[in-house]
Structure 1
């Protein structure tokens, strides 16, 4: 199974994910409850939940998008210059389920190295990364099974494309996905997650087959209390394999979750990076469907 990473860098004073703008860590209690499937709390209603979320409804440069011949001619650019990464292993991180996504974050100390990317003369620090199933962005109409890790916005999100085939062998970088799932079940806090609509084996098989999820994500409050400590997270294999994240697609968009702030510089990686079959199953089991719909139609005819 493979996916494409995206780097989000936001250029506004707001926060984004890897995009070029400053980002804040997710805080589920920071605003009204939203999700991906509720009749009154799903993506079609995000802009109505709170005045701070109005851009989700009225914004004209919303993400995610489908990267295809039309969008490439209008507002998406192909970049071939490598991004400059200054990454060192992160110590004392934690993997956990937030209620919407599996997230890996950490609290850097005053003397900690700031993992960052440089775009032009600007530096953007990595503060966390998380996952979506299926990928939020599409490539020529196709989802990937899952989107990927680090995106420094002054943080990072991830995007994927449809994988050519599943990979039976698990990938060391994503070992925490199956470990977190096992810990959730071992603590007997996963009954609601395991039984949640959309996380049955049939749905997982459909996800693996067509890179499209169906159903709803788990909302178990107990599952959100389970943390899996990570003594160290080493990004070197990821950065090395993706060769400076080139080539890639660049465009100006938005956060894909409330408040949907715009002026986010997305960098969607062209070349896929593998994820193991068991790791994908663990991801789907924990978070279910958590991808916003494609937002291309909001864009002006010509940009």
Structure 2
């Protein structure tokens, strides 16, 4: 146990972190644009990666203690499932394009739309992406995942998550992905900004309507890992062309948190801690 305590002490590297998943919401207001070349102080590997996010700031403690953390491996039958047609998803229309910004650990498109879940209306404020996907379905991961982040009047959060797969010759690539993300190479550094091509989300709305949606109460997948986030994971993948995918991951890099325990189960980091204590023996 003493070795474990010393290990934790050496990992207190930073006092603050900048969350990406809720950037632009009331929980993480966008008072001013992100400075160029500035980005969040956490990372996805090494001594400030997901294993130690809880130690980077006291505000992140739930990353290691929460029992409703995201992402998860979705097992059919173990999670609530609804028809996508039962959800009212209105991201809006942007014929002149929407603002597109590099936040350091993802790229983000700012929106002003809405989604209705269980008769509660949430305002869609942005969508960002993760490469590879954060959620797994029946232990299968995907090439990418889009998160549309929305907030209700009482500041509760909801996420519409779309999994994305690489297209084969037989697959129809998503026109929304091409229009929204096609200019990613214009924003290679944190703080860089541009406009997307004109955006019309009709095909994405139709895709949702024809899909099943997995639902559960989870968390932000970046620090501070706040819980009570209503996750809606669309089961049918979108398709992206290889060239666009390569351009995206060359800018975004790896930015997927490892899968967490099923909702209500002991946090995986707490499990690791308990295992370490058992193996290390009592304090001497």
Superposition TM-score, scaled by structure 2 size: 0.71
In structure 2, what is the Cα distance between the partners aligned to 1:292 and 1:229?
Answer: 28
Shift of 1:271: 1.4
Contact 1:137/1:159, CA 8 A, preserved across alignment: no
Contact 1:117/1:124, CA 8 A, preserved across alignment: yes
**Max Rg structure:** 2
2:33 corresponds to 1:67: no
2:177 corresponds to 1:174: yes
- Which among 248, 253, 259 is matched to residue 218 of structure 2? 253
Contact 1:253/1:266, CA 8 A, preserved across alignment: yes
Partner secondary structure for residue 161 of structure 2: coil
Aligned length, in residue pairs: 233
In structure 2, what is the Cα distance between the partners aligned to 1:78 and 1:298?
Answer: 15
More strand as a share of residues: 2
* Higher relative contact order structure (alpha carbons within 8 Å, sequence separation ≥ 6): 1
2:242 corresponds to 1:239: no
RMSD: 3.2
Matches within 5 A, 1:1-303: 24=28, 33-37=41-45, 39-69=46-76, 72-73=77-78, 76-80=79-83, 82-90=86-94, 93-105=98-110, 114-148=112-146, 150-154=148-152, 156=159, 158-160=161-163, 165=168, 171-175=174-178, 176-181=180-185, 183-184=186-187, 223-230=189-196, 232-243=198-209, 246-296=211-261, 299-300=264-265
- Over 3 Å counting, the alpha-carbon distance change for 1:86 and 1:284 in structure 2 is closer
Q: Which segment is superposed worse, 168-177 or 97-106? A: 168-177
In structure 2, what is the Cα distance between the partners aligned to 1:161 and 1:174?
Answer: 10
Structure 1 residues 189-247: Cα deviation after superposition (integer angstroms, max 9, x where no partner): x5xxxxxxxxxxxxxxxxxxxxxxxxxxxxxxxx1243221364221221123226x41
| Residue ranges of structure 1 left out of the alignment (5+ in a row) | 1-14, 107-113, 185-189, 191-222
